Amino acid sequence: MGVHTLQTFGPVQAWASLRTELSNRLAGDTLAALDNAVAFAAERHGDQTRPAGEPYLEHLLETVAVLTTGAAMTDTDLLVAAVLHDVVEDTDTELDEVRERFGTRVAALVAWVTKPNPEPGHDPATARARYLARLSKAPDDAIYLKLADRLSNVQRLDTHPRPAKRASYYRETVTTILPLADRHPWFAAWYANWRQTFAHLNDAARP
């Protein structure tokens, strides 16, 4: 059986275009909450860019697109958390501010997907491994957020500017993220197809 064409999301270059696309799918109060979250994220991430040079906000909006147009999710807090999922890890924003502005549940979701700084005496690789292992204990909604986040990161993995990173990211995703996808049928199917689509990275991923 051949590999199906991989469904991709984005690039979403502006919230206005995605908002229009979602206007018949999401309730008005959900769209309003997302308006606030996008404005906050745009301010905090500023001119940050992703490894391939695209504005950081594109990744955040892609994550929303994955959850809504891919996995057909409409949960307001989950979608707001998708917009804010990197704001604590990659800016000076504190989790308490997220909690005050957007509520306890949004903050809890953001906390689940925020990599902690390495503990004294531990290298970044150890901290990352512990973070990924901890995700196995996360509630389903936090897992969906992580799956959408990683999907945005790996859907066009061949465009990453560093070949070695493509290989290691493929291996890490197969080992630690694919098992989490079993919690939701749409994500399970998408990641199974992704694994086949990028199978050429498997040999390159070997030490």
Which pLDDT tens digit goes with each residue over 167-192?
A: 999 999 999 999 999 999 999 999 99
What lies within 8 Å, CB to CB, of 202 at 6+ separation is: 170, 171
pLDDT computed for residue 206 by the predictor: 53
| DSSP-assigned states of every residue in the chain | -PPPPPP-------HHHHHHHHTTTS-HHHHHHHHHHHHHHHHHHTT-B-TTS-BHHHHHHHHHHIIIIIS----HHHHHHHHHTTHHHHSS--HHHHHHHH-HHHHHHHHHTPPPPPPTT--HHHHHHHHHHHGGGS-HHHHHHHHHHHHHHHTTGGG-S-HHHHHHHHHHIIIIIHHHHTTSHHHHHHHHHHHHHTTHHHHHH--
To the query of whether residue 90 is one of the catalytic residues in this protein, the response is: yes
Please give the CATH architecture assigned to the domain spanning 15-205.
Orthogonal Bundle (1.10)
pLDDT band at 50 (very low <50, low <70, confident <90, very high): confident
Model pTM?
0.93
Which pLDDT tens digit goes with each residue over 68-81?
A: 999 999 999 999 99
- Active-site residue, from 89, 96, 119, 158: 89
- Active-site residue, from 21, 75, 90, 172: 90
To the query of whether residue 43 is one of the catalytic residues in this protein, the response is: no
Which pLDDT tens digit goes with each residue over 3-31?
A: 579 999 989 989 999 999 999 999 999 99
What lies within 8 Å, CB to CB, of 114 at 6+ separation is: 85, 86, 88, 89, 95
pLDDT computed for residue 204 by the predictor: 59
pLDDT > 70: percent of the chain:
97
pLDDT computed for residue 24 by the predictor: 96
Higher pLDDT, 91 or 165: 91
